A and B are shown apart, each in its own frame.
Chain A
Amino acid sequence: MPTISIFKDDFESLLAGDGRRKPAVSVEQLEEWLMLVKGELKGHNSETGELRIELQDSNRPDLWCCEGIARQIRIKQQGKLKRYSFLRQKPRATQYLIVAPGLDRVRPYVAACTARGYRVTEEGLAQLIQTQEKLADIFGRKRRTVSIGLYQLAKIQFPVTYDLVKPDQAKFTPLGMETVMTLSEILMVHPKGLEHGHILEGHERVPLLHDAKGQALSFPPIINSREVGEVQVGDEDLFVEVTGTDLPMVVLTLNIFAANLADRGARIAPIETRYPYKTVLGKSVVTPQDLSKPRTIMVKTIEQALGQSLGAHEVKKALEVYGYAVSVGKNKVKAKLPPYRQDLLHAMDVVEDVAISRGYNEFLPVMPAQFTVGGLSRIEQLSDRARELMVGLGFQEIISNILGSPENYRNAMRLDGTEWGRMVEVDNAMAVTFSCLRQWMLPSLLRVEAASSRAFYPHRLFEAGEVAIPDPLHELGSRTETVLGAVLAHATAHFSEIHSCLDVLFYHLDRSYTLEPLAHPSFLEGRVGRIVSEGMPFGVIGELHPEVLERWQIGVPIVAFDVNLTQLAASK
């Protein structure tokens, strides 16, 4: 989840709230407070005051910024969240936003507000931009579901229209460019167009935000106009807009921005958006808007989950200092999230907030007391037994990646086009060296052989581990089975040597077996056998084909076996 950069000075002023004196915050103190926001301090530059903080909770985008972190800590210190007055305010009659028909099929939702009276500082601007990026990138899934625009309010004449236009019909100078470009040109040439253009793929007409004068504000979700949509240090009045595909997410994002700017001292004024189509919030939507609904939770539910009796008032206190609005009923509480949060899916979410608010270390750990019997799976027991025997036979255990390359698992084993060469392959491999799952064990051991010609001989290696065997009859298309592979490599390695090892292994695993002649391309003809027990095949044993050794650049003969332990375990 996101790692953000904040500045200590900026953090301290936000923590103090408007008009108060800044208390100095030590790094140790900060680290402790960060528990309230599931944050971890990743770095600290004492010269610039920069703090790198990683935020864990992907459902709390309000915390991915300096304002949000400071707010959560401030509430705890002040005992209660200060109400945001803009939520009760009526929008000015002149300031509204019109949505054009047809956008419901492209990018249906937009929400906006204005912020006046906050002179943008350098640190404040850096935070605004960072929040915009993190929210659009992670919460908004790379602008697909949510994207954000900030503008100089003074240059905009209301009403603003969220329009749908042909890409060749509109043009403006985008951020980062010097010249006027049409929307098609932006999609083809501008870095942001190239990066995010796919979001609008397949649409003949695309979104355009423009004001009453017809002046373009931005081309959502691609890029802002350079003339109107470039906020600079010193600007005082801002217009904030969010577009997207999910109205609650769009509104939440705007709420976060409104709260952030309000915390910095701006006066937020809501804006009404007029839709030509129905939305979950109606055809006229005023934003910012508090979408959170109070939820009634039995105190007992919270106490049972936490393993601690608290009483309704303790719960109320804990939740209030965490930003909730709470009222207490008989054996229950009615809890409501602050407007910048939308992550209350279940009562358990409230339970966690009670615990975080009180502090995890306030809870006394108790051992689970109920008795249970431990044990290993049957296959693990068999595998452990086989491993013990292999160690006793003088073999060194190996442990390998399961994800590997077709070259190693199939081609170098001369298994191209054979039944033994079938494997589970990956569709979106990053590199061909990690693009398929091993279907047997010997290539994993040959990997070690190929790299270890300078380690003194003889080499006796084994690995017991999982492989994936393609199986069209299985619902997952493959079976995961545990296989034991062993190789013996030295100048005079001989079939009978590995055969003796197999013999001991099967004797002590209490299985009888026979070897049946087999034509297997990885082995020398006439020196390879299928291991058969009670009519069932369990693996192969043989002397590796010289061409296989050549492909692996191995300079000594190798005898080997590969035994399927899962099938062996199931056979008895």
Chain B
Amino acid sequence: MDISAIIDSLHPLEIKVLTAFGASPDGVTLATEQLATATELEPSQLSMAIEWLLAKSLLSVESEAVTPVVSLTNIGEAYFEKTAPIERVLAAAREVASTGKRLTIPDLQTTEGLDPSDVSKAVGRLKKEGVLLIVQGGCIESTGRPSPSAEAMRTLLQQLHNGSHELDSFPEAHRQLIQDHAVKRGNAKEPFRVDDRVARCFALPPMGVTAADHLAKQGVTEEVSQLSPELLKDGSWRNKRFRKYTISLRAPRIGTGKKHPYREFLDTVKTKLVSMGFQEMRGSLVETEFWNMDALFMPQFHPARDIHDVYFVKEPTHATSLDEPFLSKVTKAHENGGTTGSTGWGYKFDTQRAKRLVLRSQGTAVSARTLAAAPAVPGKYFSIARCFRYDQVDATHATDFFQVEGIVLGEDINFRTLLGLLNLFAREVAQAKEVKFLPAYFPFTEPSVELHVRHPRLGWMELGGAGLLRPEVTLPLGVTVPVIAWGLGLDRMAMVALGIHDIRELFTDNLELIRTTKGIF
């Protein structure tokens, strides 16, 4: 790597360490403490900088010395504050000597609350020193002699309480005591800890020397990582060097505000329909059978009106009223055609049935309401309506789903303009140039058409259904011009575009999936 690239990659901490080697760094060796003094860095920062430089081979370890260092453990600090076990045992033995009571090893454990191993260790050492005797019956007696161990223990506790010391600075007897009472594997409850302190001396390898020289020549332009308001305010950014970042790293993830991909798809459709001159309609999630089906000339005995196809509302079960003259006119259309030119279905229309409340099962219910509300002629309307079907939920059946559908009213509406409109949908909504029109059946249209398109990516697929509303539908609702009713089946297109295979995923509860699914354009 070329030297200026190396210099650019240096962190401010690394620069501090390199410049600590002075103006002629070649041959200079510095110990960790010296580096700490020269750089004025915190130990953690210094060791970080040293490790980075070692990894880059800009610094090398000249020598390494290992020194054992003694310090107090938490237990040692407690002994210092109170007493060490050996002192407790000695004091107890001396006390019984003056009172004439008997003292056994178990007594020491119970009355003094000492650990059995601490007791036996203390008793053993004191006996060896001739400070204690074990007499008949396991009783402990004091000989009255002073204990060098107990005194040494106190001295060590005092010395080490003020800070750690190198092990070698202690006399042999103390060292022995320390070793006996140092924390070891399997025995953590000891007052002393002996750690190896590694003292390293560092030097600069040739590359390091070059870097340090370079830094020296460059002068001390301070490097900063972050431009700050202060630097801008006083103009001092001019004397700063801005550390270069490793921009090839992956960016940290953040949460985004964004639209749901499926909703975004529906928004696109909505925008297209508006741009084609369609006015949006809204309706109710709960509808009467009248508007959901009767007004659409679906006879009350029609199989699709079965208990197994529509959700019925529990409470209230029926609407309080149905608007006239629609009720009477629709009733006549069903029973004998009324004035629609139809024979009707020839059955007795049940008004109570018409008032039954259901969850809207088809978006056409919204269109029926619009037809009855004096729509504009010519007029184009659409709705993206949530509908409910009594279906077993699986990968291709949802219990509630969106239907995109609407109506077109006008004097010029006929079978050919119906096909023209479908052509437009094919081109605008599915970007399809090839279309096929197939005869279809819907209870409320005649003629009825199914629109199949060749989607640029998905191949031939059914895009929607449409037809001219039957006069039995339009006339009772007060509409005298021909009306196209159309519906688009967009779920499959949305699913393929969103890369999902299960219709339930359109309404998924998986936030990670929603966050990562890309929208459709």
Using a CB–CB cutoff of 8 Å, the interface residues on chain A facing chain B are: 1, 35-36, 38, 56-59, 138, 141, 145, 248, 304-308, 344-349, 351-352, 355-356, 360-361, 363-377, 379-380, 384, 387, 390-403, 424-431, 434, 437, 447-452, 454-461, 466, 468, 472, 475-480
Contacts and interface: CB of A to CB of B under 8 A. Distances in A.
B48 interface: no
Interface in B464-481: 468, 470-472
Given A345-B472, A348-B446, A380-B280, 13 more contacts: A59-B441, A304-B414, A346-B472, A355-B415, A366-B417, A367-B421, A370-B411, A377-B281, A399-B262, A451-B509, A454-B512, A475-B320, A478-B284
B511 A451 contact: yes
Contact of A368 (B258, B390, B420, B440): B420
A345 B439 contact: no
Nearest to B298: A58
Contacts of B282: 377, 379-380, 480
B393 interface: yes
A376 B257 contact: no
Interface in B485-521: 506-507, 509-512, 514-515
B449 A360 contact: yes
Contact of A348 (B257, B283, B393, B470): B470
B471 A452 contact: no
B317 A427 contact: yes
Contact of B514 (A304, A398, A472): A398
B263 A38 contact: no
A368 B511 contact: no
A477 B393 contact: no
Contact of A58 (B277, B413, B443): B443
A35 B439 contact: yes
B52 interface: no
B379 interface: yes
B512 A455 contact: yes
B302 interface: yes
Contacts of A355: 415, 439, 447
A307 B439 contact: no
Nearest to A461: B511
A403 B399 contact: yes
Given A397-B259, A456-B255, A348 B468 contact: yes
Interface in B382-435: 386, 388, 390, 392-393, 398-400, 408, 410-417, 419-424
Contacts, number: 280
Given A370-B378, A455-B511, A398 B260 contact: yes
Interface in B249-303: 253, 255-260, 262-263, 267, 270, 273-288, 301-303
Contacts of B515: 396, 455
26 contacts: A305-B414, A307-B415, A307-B417, A344-B343, A345-B344, A346-B472, A347-B341, A348-B446, A352-B439, A361-B436, A367-B423, A372-B378, A392-B257, A394-B256, A401-B398, A402-B388, A403-B311, A403-B400, A424-B313, A427-B317, A430-B392, A452-B512, A460-B257, A468-B286, A472-B316, A477-B313
A346 B416 contact: no
A368 B357 contact: no
Interface of B: 253, 255-260, 262-263, 267, 270, 273-288, 301-304, 307, 311-317, 319-321, 337, 340-346, 357, 359, 376, 378-380, 386, 388, 390, 392-393, 398-400, 408, 410-417, 419-424, 436-441, 443, 446-449, 468, 470-472, 482, 484, 506-507, 509-512, 514-515
Contacts of B399: 401, 403, 430, 434
Contacts of A304: 414
Given A360-B449, A370-B412, A437-B286, A403 B388 contact: yes
A451 B438 CA distance: 44
Contact of B439 (A347, A360, A366, A379): A360
Nearest to A463: B260
A556 to B, nearest CB: 13
Nearest to A449: B511
A305 B259 CA distance: 43
Q: Which 5 A-B pairs have the closest CB atoms?
A: A307-B414, A452-B511, A307-B416, A352-B447, A365-B419
A372 B286 contact: no
A401 B393 CA distance: 12
Contacts of A472: 316
A141 B304 CA distance: 11
B390 A430 contact: yes
Given A56-B440, A141-B301, A387-B259, A372 B281 contact: no
Contact of B400 (A59, A364, A401, A479): A401
B416 to A, nearest CB: 4
B279 A372 contact: yes
Contact of B321 (A371, A452, A475): A475
A437 B441 contact: no
A414 B421 CA distance: 51
A437 B285 contact: yes
A472 B357 CA distance: 13
Of the listed residues A304, A390, A427, A448, the one surrounded by the most CB atoms of chain B closer than 10 A to its CB is A427
A477 to B, nearest CB: 4
A425 B314 contact: yes
Contacts of B378: 368, 370-372
B257 A393 contact: yes
B267 to A, nearest CB: 8
Contacts of A361: 436-437
Contact of A427 (B273, B312, B400, B446): B312
B262 to A, nearest CB: 6
A461 B412 CA distance: 47
Contacts of B259: 387, 391, 397
A393 B436 CA distance: 45
Contacts of B303: 58, 138, 141
A454 B511 CA distance: 9
Nearest to B263: A399
A399 B446 contact: no
A459 B511 contact: yes
Contacts of B449: 360
Contacts of A466: 285, 386
Nearest to A40: B438
A460 B515 CA distance: 11
